A = this chain, B = another copy of it.
Amino acid sequence: MPRDTGGLARTVELLWGVSTSRGTRGPRPGLSVEAITRAALAIADAEGIGAVSMQRVAKDLDYTTMSLYNYVPSKDQLIELMIDAATPPPPVPDDGDDWRDGVERWVRATWDLYHAHRWVLKVPTVNVPIGPNQMAWFEALLHALSRGGLEGAEVMAIAQHILASTRGQAALSIDLTTEQDGTTAEFSEALRKLATPDRFPTLHGLLTAAEPGGFDAGAELYAGLRLGVRLLLDGVEGHVRPGA
């Protein structure tokens, strides 16, 4: 496989496994895109995305750094591959039950997925380039949602909305439960001190009303996400059946 600085075409090739039709000359490749991706993924899962460097991946594979570039055109590309590799096929939809349950299950599964690979949401640009597995998850959401009776463009909009809020809440949950040592407690205490009633009356009220002891950020945020999704789906139902 010739080296390539990797435009969009190459991205698509790699992510979507378009056969790379490698010429059969030259030494047989000792590595593969999959092996590299797997090694990098293992590092990220174990030590965070910050531990993933080309040198580190190569070392784990017992190759030189530069040999990776025979397979992967750049580190950014590798990260795209890692994200897609971290994403299993989405749960199969169960069209038997309520469509709302389908959406809520999707949200739960996505939440779990992001928590299983806590580095994914720390990657700066998870947005535009999308691999097959990512797309499959989005398709699953679209499918579940489309059973609710929304019109085409609305399905897309609401799906993006749900995806965005799931990501956002999950990112927050991951951040709050990742802080090393006691920084979370320390921070939440600082927050309480800074949210003075004069400048931040509403926030102050909410913070002091909440139980003062340690709170389970993860569970609380998930409950919030769930509530948000439910109310949103309520809105969807009202929108679709204006009478009822």
Contact = CB atoms under 8 A, between A and B. Distances in A.
Interface of A: 8, 12, 16, 122-125, 127-130, 132, 135-136, 138-139, 142-143, 146, 152-158, 160-161, 163-169, 171-172, 175-176, 179, 183, 186-187, 190-191, 194-195, 199-203, 205-206, 209-210, 221, 223-225, 227-228, 230-236, 238-239
> What are the 10 A-B residue pairs with the smallest beta carbon separation, nearest first?
A164-B168, A157-B224, A231-B235, A161-B228, A234-B235, A235-B235, A142-B202, A127-B175, A164-B165, A165-B165
20 contacts: A12-B190, A127-B171, A128-B176, A135-B194, A136-B199, A136-B200, A139-B200, A142-B202, A152-B209, A152-B210, A155-B202, A155-B206, A156-B224, A157-B223, A157-B225, A164-B166, A231-B238, A232-B235, A235-B238, A238-B238
A167 B172 CA distance: 12
Given A160-B169, A228-B232, 20 more contacts: A8-B190, A127-B172, A127-B176, A129-B187, A130-B191, A142-B203, A142-B206, A152-B206, A152-B210, A154-B227, A157-B225, A158-B227, A158-B228, A160-B168, A160-B228, A161-B169, A164-B172, A231-B239, A234-B239, A238-B238
